[in-house]
Homo-oligomer: A and B are copies of this chain.
């Protein structure tokens, strides 16, 4: 498994020249302002216009950098997502070396994903909403790498003879991640009242049933 590039709008542009100095300063200012406002008053209670105003830039400037609130939120999570990804990969290497089955690794990955989703759900809500709004064709970055990880583990488990026969692994990866869609996840947490542990255990049970 390989690290997935998580910085679609990072400072080093794919296109060509480096970011202009004033633009870089504004980017930092915007991120910093957004982070503060979100922390003080909650993500859902802060609108884009306000972020621009408090940061002292025009709305056009804000939207040039971040095409919507979701992208901005994604940028704020960037570091933590990368760290989560890296630490997961490191962990897996270790577990594989110890001979821990891939299905077990999958169960643990899902469990830590439950925690990640819980912690970042306010930002993730915006990311998903934006992904939806831009039409179904735009993919959602967090989901993308989560899917890559899950499906890689499923394939490894199959190669390793841990899985029951005739499973549609490609679809299965999606089905296992479906309960982690943020809106649904929040419903389970705050309406159903399920704890993180219960959700993690439920997913573990499902994963275990896939065994031969």
Contacts and interface: CB of A to CB of B under 8 A. Distances in A.
8 contacts: A128-B183, A136-B186, A136-B190, A168-B201, A171-B198, A171-B201, A175-B179, A175-B206
A148 interface: no
B179 A192 contact: no
Given A139-B191, A174-B188, 20 more contacts: A128-B183, A132-B183, A136-B186, A136-B187, A136-B191, A168-B201, A168-B205, A171-B194, A171-B199, A171-B201, A174-B179, A174-B202, A175-B178, A175-B203, A175-B206, A178-B179, A181-B183, A181-B184, A183-B183, A209-B210
Interface string A139-179: 10000000000000000000000001011100110110011
A175 B202 contact: yes
A137 B191 contact: yes
How often does this chain occur in the complex, in copies?
2
Q: Which 4 pairs across A and B sit closest by C-beta, in order of nearness?
A: A178-B178, A171-B202, A178-B179, A209-B209
Contacts of A210: 209
A206 B169 CA distance: 11
Interface of A is mostly: helix
Interface of A: 128, 132, 136-137, 139, 164, 166-168, 171-172, 174-175, 178-179, 181, 183-184, 186-188, 190-192, 194, 198-199, 201-203, 205-206, 209-210
A106 to B, nearest CB: 14
Contacts of A209: 164, 209-210
A178 to B, nearest CB: 4
Contacts of A194: 171
A43 to B, nearest CB: 14
Contacts of A188: 174
A206 B172 contact: yes
A174 B194 CA distance: 11
A148 to B, nearest CB: 13
